[in-house]
Amino acid sequence: MTYKITRDENISTIYLTGEIDMDVTEQAKELIMPVIEEKKEVHLNLKDVEYMDSSGISVLIESHQKAMELGTRVVLKEISKSVLKVIMMAKLEQILILE
Amino acid sequence: MDITEIKDFPVNSKSLREVREFSREVISRSSILEESKEELVLAIGEAAQNIVKHAYKDNLDTNDKMQIKISFKNKILEIGFFDKGKPIVEENIKHRSLDDIKPGGLGTYFIQQIMDEVVFKEATGWHNNLVLTKKY
């Protein structure tokens, strides 16, 4: 997994690339959580995420819940087909914020 | 075309990528399987992850190997997982309710959604043998 972060006044965008599995879960959380703690809206761009398993889905749920606690939100953007399939399999398309 | 392929992997999270690469390569040999390749790779990845996460929960520095056997014969796909970790109590394996939104507990659910049958069998020399089956 590789990443890039861009920040503007109100929104931070994290572009994730590659495969998100158990091996990179901690790395993904260490990357995403501090950005959420800045309390700006966070966009997770998943266009270039080729594979995500249940561990990756857990990171998305945890991120969403953390943002809600802090009064902000995490928006999933440009979700790749394979990731969307897993999100829908977990019936999370109505829970997570997808745009 | 019949397929039988067996490979050993170190039991650790770094092996999961290798497990997926192996699975993709084997599945790609059949045009029938190819159509559901990514789903099958997810199921295989989740099952391998469960070995690392649960069967070796208290033994993360192990040098043990887990073995994966993929066979496709007579339009039946069978994927066997063999490990020497903590014996799994089948009754204790259940996924969380989908209405209970929290991190974790989805891997087994994904496997059950993708495969037709998920059973533990006896295998000489191994502590756990999970067998996933799907008919085409």
Q: Is the dihedral of CA B14, B17, B22, B23 positive or negative?
A: positive
pLDDT for the residue B18: 98
Name the residue in chain A with its Cα closest to that of B102: A61
Cβ of residue B95 closer than 8 Å to a chain A Cβ: no
> Cβ–Cβ of A62/B20 closer than 8 Å?
no
pLDDT for the residue B90: 77
User: Is the per-residue pLDDT at B19 higher than 90?
Assistant: yes
Q: Which of the listed CATH numbers 3.40.50.720, 3.40.50.1820, 3.30.750.24, 3.40.50.150 matches domain A2-98?
A: 3.30.750.24
pTM of the model: 0.94
Minimal Cβ distance to A22: which of B16, B38, B42: B16
Burial (0-12, 13-18, 19+ Cβ within 10 Å), A34: exposed
pLDDT for the residue B98: 75
Name the superfamily (CATH) of residues B3-135. Histidine kinase-like ATPase, C-terminal domain (3.30.565.10)
Ramachandran bin of B14, using left for φ above 0, alpha for ψ from -120 to 50, beta for the remaining angles: alpha
pLDDT, tens digit, for every residue of B42-85? 999 999 999 999 999 888 889 999 999 999 999 999 999 999 99
**CA-to-CA distance for A80 and A69, rounded, in angstroms?**
27
| Chain B residues closer than 8 Å to A33 by CB | none
**CA-to-CA distance for A63 and B103, rounded, in angstroms?**
10
pLDDT for the residue B105: 81
Where in chain B are the domains? 3-135
User: Is the per-residue pLDDT at B26 higher than 90?
Assistant: yes
Name the residue in chain A with its Cα closest to that of B105: A54
